[in-house]
Amino acid sequence: MPDRTKYVLDEREMPTAWYNVSPDLPKPLDPPLHPVTSEPMGPEDLAPLFPMGLIAQEVSQERYIDIPGEVLEIYKTYRPSPLVRAKNLEKALDTPAKIYFKYEGVSAAGSHKPNTAYAQAYYNKVEGTNKISTETGAGQWGSALAIACQHFDIECKVYMVRVSYEQKPYRRILMETYGASVTPSPSMETDAGKAVLADNPDSLGSLGIAISEAVEVALKNEDTHYSLGSVLNFVCLHQTVIGQEAITQMGVAEAEPDVVIGCVGGGSNFSGLAFPYYHRKKEEGLSTRFLAVEPKACPTLTAGDYRYDWGDEAKMAPQVVMYTLGHDFVPAGIHAGGLRYHGDAPMLSLLVKEGEIDAVALHQTEVFEGAVLFAQNEGILPAPEAAHAIQAAITEALDAKEKGEERTILFGLSGHGHFDLGAYDAYLKGELVDYDYAAGSRVEEE
Amino acid sequence: MPDRTKYVLDEREMPTAWYNVSPDLPKPLDPPLHPVTSEPMGPEDLAPLFPMGLIAQEVSQERYIDIPGEVLEIYKTYRPSPLVRAKNLEKALDTPAKIYFKYEGVSAAGSHKPNTAYAQAYYNKVEGTNKISTETGAGQWGSALAIACQHFDIECKVYMVRVSYEQKPYRRILMETYGASVTPSPSMETDAGKAVLADNPDSLGSLGIAISEAVEVALKNEDTHYSLGSVLNFVCLHQTVIGQEAITQMGVAEAEPDVVIGCVGGGSNFSGLAFPYYHRKKEEGLSTRFLAVEPKACPTLTAGDYRYDWGDEAKMAPQVVMYTLGHDFVPAGIHAGGLRYHGDAPMLSLLVKEGEIDAVALHQTEVFEGAVLFAQNEGILPAPEAAHAIQAAITEALDAKEKGEERTILFGLSGHGHFDLGAYDAYLKGELVDYDYAAGSRVEEE
């Protein structure tokens, strides 16, 4: 087994097709239902929101879908992303386990989000869309889409939850630097925003309201489409470049993961790493385990119901079958903002339901403990979201140590935490609060 | 010529020795003089501050100095850094020039600084140093040294200029996350700090005062050494991994730079990229040009005197021959904090004096214009320091266009700007102020 620290690939070794897990699912997905009529939706029902290129991917049963040349070209500015053996962390834990991580923080947006942002912007551009609207919480998705729209010369309109807009100006400035127009939500630009403000002029906003504003703009303007950064089948599809690269890199390392770990918000990051390995497991008859990690404050996979629910609070998005805490659930204000979603990607939900993927929920204090241990040993400062995967990997490594087992662990490090230092400060000062959905702390207490 | 976007190297292709330009200088460096007696200093005079391993490098005439295995190992966590062809920027400029950049922002500290921080921490560890003191302005050097000390299990004490400590908490938190102890300077922990505070209890501090505090702690405590992030010969030496890697990568690209560009504060970043190319020019009889880029608010190379001067405001550091604006010069408050140093590395200064390297000074408004153009086309958000090199590269590319010339441009992108978004905000709002040393705006006006 080669004893390297970092496994890099040349851009010519990048996958040229996305992997679609749909044909390999244990059973078919239930169809999405119309948000109002609850009738099954066809591709044409989605056309006001998305270009046909993406809608075709949403329902495709093809196992591999070619990545367009223009998307491949822009991927090459930051991909293939590195696979790193966390040797210093292994040493600190004194574990016989081998720990590898796939690092997506090397993109300009600092996370895996550009993998789908570039693809979505491309398909919109090809079909003549001049403008894309979207929502963002703390700004991770918004900044990825802003960069992608800039590249494909599309206007980008971002509705940013007001409390984040005011308290976290850095990602707002980042989006503006990439040419996006950022509006605090609720705003007076939409009926949805006006209605909220009429009721409460001081509203701090929520992701649900911001989605409603972005969707409304897309529905009312023919030249405008809507863009979403997770949950949908085509978003999970685009992220599979991560797992496919990892398989090539782990091959060079002559290492086969016993367990593949990732954090889950909407589910696209986890799916991107895990789905190609799920396919590999089936093909090669392996015994790979998969572990999805979520926050105890928003434990969709471990405490949610598996049923039809709306994708958004305002019931404007389609109803899909997924694990959900309810479309009107407002998670507590944990620092891993990207994991505060009431539902999960339907494809991932189905695989959890069928027992193919395990899930675990963690408190944010233990997550930050893992984050700091990782930063101090591997250098990289992880995003709070990604740190969920780190902490679960540490637990696996310590379990291997206790049992005296060799174990090969692969986890996804979905992004860096350069814009999350306020959260680290709170952790170092001992000021982090843990929220437990199961214990009833279901609403933000801060 | 291969048409790739990114040229990556395997860790096995990393240089295993640093390149020392000293034996290749057109004439010998003048000896450093004692800060108080003005007598030439020998290695033993530096021993209270630095370990002998580093002092030996400071005066070495060996062309290549092996990189210790433990330093190579930790380099592998982020090196080799990528060389990127800025295809999208070329397209935006519609230039026949080919633009390549070497990107050092992939390190955990986000800049080139860890290349020397790890080396300095290593040589200190080997000689039994348990504690290192240093100063930092906005925190770039301090965070690199904090990470390096953490790795080699050394206590790290950082005196951070008070105004930055209070106004820019993110890099302070970053240093603390990596286990460093950070004290706002001036402090009551040192005589130097007490003297300043006795005079002015509300002092905002300065780099000069912070250096005095860090040096005092090293001089007064036998187990403590001092560490400096630029200027010294051994710092420039450690940075030559950048240029050596670039030569290998440009070789794969089958490209020979006509001009090599970098920004200059103390000079180690520029030296790291340029010195290996300077050696190559001599060996191969090439006509490579070298362009050092500095701010008009602190134009040491273009408007300074070439003479002996102290390295610090408080005259506690040795006197060296360099381009200087005077040890008591306080540059205006431009956002490229890393370029606000009154002098320059003696090796770089000599090469400029001898006409081997050209220099140019830019205003920060034009620098940010280049930074935003670069970010919008290449994705990466550059640090304000690095953006000086970008703007000069753009000027070269436009000049090549005007003259209808092919030209191959290589510049160093020394770091990302994730902690500089306040500066971008000011630029986007049209609030940036330009300071011109030549026009007399020599003191911070904000």
Region B382-393: what's the mean pLDDT?
97
Looking at residue A446, its pLDDT comes to 36
Distance CA B143, CA B173 (A): 9
Looking at residue A442, its pLDDT comes to 43
Instruction: Mutate one of A3, A4, A6 to test the B interface: name it (highest B CB count within 10 A).
Output: A6
Contacts of A335 in chain B (CB under 8 A): none
**Contacts for B251 with CB less than 8 Å, ≥ 6 apart:** none
Distance CA B295, CA B303 (A): 11
Is A381 close to B174, i.e. CB distance below 8 A?
Answer: yes
For residue A11 the two structure tokens come to 């851009």
Query: Which residue, B349, B420, B352, is CA-closest to B383?
Result: B420
Q: Flag whether pLDDT at A358 surpasses 90.
A: yes
Q: How confident is the model at residue A414 (pLDDT cuts 50, 70, 90)?
A: very high
- pLDDT tens track for B18-58: 999 999 999 999 999 999 999 999 888 899 999 999 999 99
Domains B6-12+78-110+236-442 and B43-67+113-233 fall in the same CATH topology: yes
Instruction: Mutate one of A9, A10, A12, A77 to test the B interface: name it (highest B CB count within 10 A).
Output: A77
| Nearest Cβ partner for B5 among A77, A109, A425 | A77
Q: How confident is the model at residue B445 (pLDDT cuts 50, 70, 90)?
A: very low
Contacts of B178 in chain A (CB under 8 A): 375-376
Is A421 close to B173, i.e. CB distance below 8 A?
Answer: yes
Instruction: Mutate one of B5, B156, B378 to test the A interface: name it (highest A CB count within 10 A).
Output: B5
**Contacts for B266 with CB less than 8 Å, ≥ 6 apart:** B229, B230, B231, B235, B341, B343, B344, B345
Strand partners, A64: A19
- Topology of B43-67+113-233 in CATH? Rossmann fold (3.40.50)
Under 8 Å between Cβ of B169 and B139: no
C-beta atoms surrounding B406 within 10 Å: 11
For residue B321 the two structure tokens come to 């021959």
Strand partners, A291: A261, A358
Angle of the B346-353 helix axis to the B268-284 helix axis, nearest 10: 50
Under 8 Å between Cβ of B114 and B148: yes
Q: How far is B426 from chain A (nearest CA, A)?
A: 10
Most confident region among A315-329, B37-51, B244-258 by mean pLDDT: B244-258
Is A428 close to B6, i.e. CB distance below 8 A?
Answer: no
Under 8 Å between Cβ of A266 and A230: yes
E strands present in A93-226: 98-103, 131-136, 155-161, 181-185, 224-226
Under 8 Å between Cβ of A262 and A340: no
Q: How confident is the model at residue A441 (pLDDT cuts 50, 70, 90)?
A: low
Query: Which of the residue ranges A395-399, B331-335, B360-364 would you say has the lowest mean pLDDT?
Result: B331-335
Q: Which pairs with CB-CB distance under 8 Å and at least 24 residues apart come from B205-208?
A: B205/B161, B205/B162, B205/B163, B205/B165, B206/B161, B206/B313, B206/B330, B207/B135, B207/B137, B207/B161, B207/B313, B207/B340, B207/B341, B208/B312, B208/B313, B208/B314, B208/B327, B208/B328
Q: Flag whether pLDDT at A412 surpasses 50.
A: yes
Angle of the A114-126 helix axis to the A140-151 helix axis, nearest 10: 40
CB of B104 less than 8 A from some CB of A? no
Looking at residue A444, its pLDDT comes to 41
CB of B177 less than 8 A from some CB of A? yes
Q: How far is A417 from chain B (nearest CA, A)?
A: 10
What's the whole-number average pLDDT of chain A? 94
Q: How far is A76 from chain B (nearest CA, A)?
A: 6
Distance CA B10, CA A8 (A): 6
Looking at residue B2, its pLDDT comes to 81
For residue B312 the two structure tokens come to 């610090």
Contacts of B378 in chain A (CB under 8 A): 77, 108
Q: How confident is the model at residue A252 (pLDDT cuts 50, 70, 90)?
A: very high
Query: By percentage, how much of chain A surpasses pLDDT 90?
Result: 84
Q: How far is A218 from chain B (nearest CA, A)?
A: 24
Is A424 close to B9, i.e. CB distance below 8 A?
Answer: no
Region B81-102: what's the mean pLDDT?
97
| Nearest Cβ partner for B108 among A5, A179, A380 | A380
Under 8 Å between Cβ of B74 and B107: no
- pLDDT tens track for A122-173: 999 999 999 999 999 878 999 999 999 999 999 999 999 998 898 888 999 9
User: What is the separation of C-alpha B52 from the centre of its chain, rounded to a whole number of angstroms?
Assistant: 23
Distance CA A392, CA A411 (A): 9
| A90-110: b (≥16 Cβ within 10 Å) or e | bebbebebbbbbbbbbbbbbb
- pLDDT tens track for A53-88: 999 999 999 999 999 999 999 999 999 999 999 999
Q: Flag whether pLDDT at A445 surpasses 60.
A: no
CB of B29 less than 8 A from some CB of A? no
Region B194-222: what's the mean pLDDT?
90
Q: Flag whether pLDDT at A443 surpasses 60.
A: no
Q: Flag whether pLDDT at B444 surpasses 80.
A: no
Distance CA A39, CA A33 (A): 5
Q: How far is B91 from chain A (nearest CA, A)?
A: 12
Strand partners, A30: none
- pLDDT tens track for A214-239: 999 999 999 999 999 999 999 999 99
Q: Flag whether pLDDT at B281 surpasses 50.
A: yes
Q: How confident is the model at residue B166 (pLDDT cuts 50, 70, 90)?
A: confident
Burial tier of A158 (Cβ tally within 10 Å: 0-12, 13-18, 19+): buried
CA-based nearest residue in chain A for residue B150: A376
| Residues of chain B numbered 377-396 and touching chain A (CB < 8 Å) | 377-381
Query: Which of the residue ranges A8-12, A336-340, A352-356 would you say has the lowest mean pLDDT?
Result: A336-340
Query: Which of the residue ranges A5-9, A322-326, A359-363, B310-314 would you say has the lowest mean pLDDT?
Result: B310-314
| Residues of chain A numbered 179-218 and touching chain B (CB < 8 Å) | 179
CB of A167 less than 8 A from some CB of B? no
Q: What sign for the dihedral angle of Cα B375, B380, B386, B389?
A: negative
CB of A177 less than 8 A from some CB of B? yes
Region B165-171: what's the mean pLDDT?
87
Distance CA B174, CA B140 (A): 10
Contacts of A88 in chain B (CB under 8 A): 77, 151
CA-based nearest residue in chain B for residue A170: B421
Looking at residue B446, its pLDDT comes to 36
User: What is the separation of C-alpha A341 from the centre of its chain, rounded to a whole number of angstroms?
Assistant: 10
The string of DSSP letters for B108-130 reads TTSBSTHHHHHHHHHHHHHTT--
Query: Which residue, B164, B206, B419, is CA-closest to B331?
Result: B206
Contacts of B379 in chain A (CB under 8 A): 77-78, 107-109, 114, 147, 151
CA-based nearest residue in chain A for residue B2: A12
Q: How confident is the model at residue B332 (pLDDT cuts 50, 70, 90)?
A: confident
Domain boundaries, chain B: 6-12+78-110+236-442, 43-67+113-233
What's the whole-number average pLDDT of chain B? 94
Under 8 Å between Cβ of A173 and A195: no
Name the pairing type of β-strands A6-7 and A408-413. Answer: unpaired
Is A173 close to B425, i.e. CB distance below 8 A?
Answer: yes
Q: How far is B85 from chain A (nearest CA, A)?
A: 9
Is B77 close to A378, i.e. CB distance below 8 A?
Answer: yes
| Nearest Cβ partner for B418 among A12, A176, A418 | A418
- Half-sphere exposure in the Cβ direction for A301 (13 Å, CA): 31
| Nearest Cβ partner for B173 among A8, A9, A425 | A425
ipTM: 0.93
Distance CA A385, CA A396 (A): 18
The DSSP call for residue A28 is P
CB of A92 less than 8 A from some CB of B? no
Q: What sign for the dihedral angle of Cα B412, B414, B416, B419?
A: negative
Distance CA B421, CA A130 (A): 28
CB of B14 less than 8 A from some CB of A? no
Is B108 close to A179, i.e. CB distance below 8 A?
Answer: no
Contacts of B75 in chain A (CB under 8 A): none
Distance CA B323, CA B300 (A): 6
- Looking at domain B6-12+78-110+236-442, its CATH architecture is 3-Layer(aba) Sandwich (3.40)
Q: Flag whether pLDDT at B289 surpasses 60.
A: yes
| Nearest Cβ partner for A108 among B106, B147, B379 | B379
Q: Coil, strand, or helix at residue A317?
A: coil
Contacts of B106 in chain A (CB under 8 A): 106
Distance CA A364, CA A377 (A): 20
Under 8 Å between Cβ of A7 and A249: yes
- pLDDT tens track for B296-331: 999 999 999 999 999 887 788 889 999 999 988 888
CA-CA distances (angstroms) from residue A420 to A385, A425, A428, B45? 10, 9, 13, 44
* Terminal CA-CA length for chain B: 50
Looking at residue A410, its pLDDT comes to 98
Contacts of B372 in chain A (CB under 8 A): 177
Q: Coil, strand, or helix at residue A345?
A: coil
CB of A77 less than 8 A from some CB of B? yes
| Nearest Cβ partner for B8 among A10, A147, A376 | A10
Counting one residue from A and one from B, how many pairs have CB atoms under 8 Å apart?
Answer: 119
Looking at residue B38, its pLDDT comes to 96
